[in-house]
């Protein structure tokens, strides 16, 4: 005979599975954008010699923006406005 505790545990496990499925579906586009953006940044560094500082802010912009975000980061880095490795190493932002 099935006890009430077993039914409650089954419902909790089902709710956890549904929640995990929704979280994975919500995060998946950001992971894809981040991978595409980072590949774009690494190709730009390897082919064109563009130096870009890979920081948590860079990853956030690329994860949200994907390829257009990576182009924005590259544009700002080339123009010397942001994401420039020399500025971070010299402590110019501090």
pTM over 0.85: no
Instruction: Show the tokens assigned to 4.
Output: 């009430």
Q: What is the pLDDT of residues 23-46, one digit of tens each?
A: 999 999 988 988 999 899 999 989
DSSP per-residue codes, 27-76:
HHHHHHHHHHHHHHHHHIIIII-------HHHHHHHHHHHHHHHHHHHHH
Encode pLDDT of 49-90 as tens digits.
888 888 889 888 988 899 999 999 999 988 888 888 765 555
> How many other CB atoms sit within 10 Å of the CB of residue 49?
7
Contact predicate 67/61, CB 8 Å: no
């Amino acid at each position: 005979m099935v006890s009430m505790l077993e039914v409650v545990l089954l419902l909790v496990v089902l709710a956890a599975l549904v929640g995990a499925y929704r979280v994975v579906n919500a995060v998946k586009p950001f992971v894809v954008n981040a991978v595409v953006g980072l590949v774009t940044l690494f190709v730009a560094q390897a082919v064109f010699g563009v130096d870009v500082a890979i920081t948590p802010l860079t990853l956030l912009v690329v994860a949200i923006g994907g390829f257009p975000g990576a182009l924005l980061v590259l544009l700002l880095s080339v123009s010397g406005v942001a994401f420039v490795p020399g500025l971070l190493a010299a402590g110019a932002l501090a």
